Amino acid sequence: MNTNLTTFADLYQFTMMYGYYKTGKMDEEVAFDLFFRKNPFHNGYTIAAGLETVIQYIQNLSFTDSDIDYLKSTGLFQDENFFDYLQNLSFTGDLYAMPEGTVVFPNEPLIKVRTRLFEAQFIETALLTQIGHQSLIATKANRMTRVANGKPILEFGARRAQGVESAVLGSRASIIGGCNSTSNVKAGKEYDLMISGTHAHSWIMSFDSELEAFQSYAEAFPDHLILLIDTFDTLKSGMPNAIKVFREVKKQHGELKTYGVRLDSGDLAYLSKKAREMLDEAGFQEAIIVASNDLDEYTIRELESQEAKIDAYGVGTKLITAYDQPALGCVYKLAAEKLNDKWIPKIKRSENPEKITNPGLKKVLRYIDEKNGEALVDLIMLEDEQIPNQPFEVFDPIHTWKRKKVKHCKWIELLQPIFIQGKLVYESPSINEIVENVQRNLSSFSKEHKRFSKPHIYHVDLSQNLWDMKMKLLAELD
């Protein structure tokens, strides 16, 4: 997915660029924040993902001649010199971001952009689309893996995804979130993900009998033999035939490596228990049972609580589309503008208090208790603020009487430099490093914050300076 995506922007980005060009504002330096306002799926946190494709997008930012011809053909832009500026567009500023796999909370900037208005405005659409989609899927995957008691989750939603790219990047995000493997070969190849898959019902149907189909599959894949057993009758036909084939392979090869059965319909709790009994009785204690069929985190949790004998879960539609909430709703808001070499903080007011933005150039610190390793609070501060000496007090930005003392904490700064003056200064981690980053991040949060439903709300506070600035700006607007 390395294609040039430069024209991928809402038309209003172009009309605004033209407007900024016409009013001479295009070179003013500005700062934008990308954030979301609510964790998805009633989860207690969100897993940041999508930075890798954002980096690719920004590095490839460049209009082709055919793009320019197209824009000319719209007849919208009267002043032809505008196209010269477009032709020379590239990203020349600074971009800070939370690395992929960071546990992030509402209203925290996942990305901070600081560059001239012309560029900063233009990249909005692509950043929102990529970060929103991939963070959503990573978070959904993480919910599923969390309830599976360590059993592997296999992502195989490609056919139900909203298009090919959505499937490929969704696979990657699923792995980031904690899935074990994907069925998606393109994703496996492009992003170095573990792939898995065996056969479909059509395999069975294309042979004269289920037994013959199993035997033929075993001939091709004796060492990786997961048989789909529900084409005719799971317990009466599929299981006996599978056991027969396992015996044959064992006899022929002396041993069985990875082998087992997949259940894809019916009552998975009941069938898995019966299947386990039959496999154990036949001496196939190492055979694994994979279950699939429209699973989501709620069904997986139910199956686990009923002690279903399932060793791995295959998930499709519900994960790859984030079925119960298919959009995260990221926004990208102006935070500051540089005038006469001085940064002027900007605020967007709203009738909804939760939609009021945090002004100014900011950084985000996570304070982690040195004793128990638990994250205590995230503090959004002004970029040039001194890190406060401990102990100090933090307070809820809405209910300011809710106060908490920060002491004996180490802190980490969550926003990392990615581009500085247009130059990429960030070395992208491998997919395994990202997966480890998720685990490391999550290990700082208490069980209460990770609770499946109605989680304890993690504190994200504003520094006193930032809070004062915000209140002052709000007062001035009236």
- Among residue numbers 261 through 300, which ones bind a copy of itself (CB under 8 A)? 265-266
User: Which of these segments, 25-33, 100-108, 441-449, 464-472, binds a copy of itself (CB under 8 A)?
Assistant: 25-33
Copy the structure tokens of residue 135.
Answer: 């963070």
Reported in sequence order, the residue ranges of 212-311 that DSSP labels E, i.e. its strands, are: 224-228, 258-263, 288-291
Per CB under 8 A, does 309 bind a copy of itself? no
What's the sign of the alpha-carbon dihedral 426, 103, 179, 161? negative
Per CB under 8 A, does 42 bind a copy of itself? no
Considering only residues 110-129, where is the footprint of a copy of itself by CB under 8 A?
117, 121, 124-126, 128-129
Report which secondary-structure segment, H or E, holds 159.
none
CA distances from 419 to 74, 103, 152 (A): 33, 21, 36
- Which residue of 38, 286, 326, 417 would you call a contact of a copy of itself, by CB under 8 A? 326
Tell me the C-alpha distance between 143 and 296, whole Å.
Answer: 9
Smallest distance, a copy of itself to C-beta of residue 347, A:
8
Per CB under 8 A, does 472 bind a copy of itself? no
- In the bound state with a copy of itself, the residue whose beta carbon lies nearer, of 142 and 441, is 142
User: Which of these segments, 166-174, 268-276, 302-310, 443-451, binds a copy of itself (CB under 8 A)?
Assistant: 166-174
Considering only residues 338-377, where is the footprint of a copy of itself by CB under 8 A?
346, 348-351
Per CB under 8 A, does 392 bind a copy of itself? no
Q: Cis bond leading into 391, ω under 30°?
A: yes
User: Site size for a copy of itself, by CB under 8 A?
Assistant: 100
Which pairing describes strands 403-406 and 392-395: parallel, antiparallel, or unpaired? antiparallel
Site string for a copy of itself, 414-453 (x = CB under 8 A): ----------------------------------------
Q: Which residues contact 52 (CB under 8 A, 6 or more apart)?
A: 100, 428
- Which residue of 150, 163, 254, 353 would you call a contact of a copy of itself, by CB under 8 A? 163
Considering only residues 232-251, where is the footprint of a copy of itself by CB under 8 A?
232
Per CB under 8 A, does 10 bind a copy of itself? yes
Asked whether 363 and 53 are in contact (CB, 8 A), the reply is no
Per CB under 8 A, does 475 bind a copy of itself? no
211 CB-side CA count, 13 A: 9
Tell me the C-alpha distance between 166 and 153, whole Å.
Answer: 19
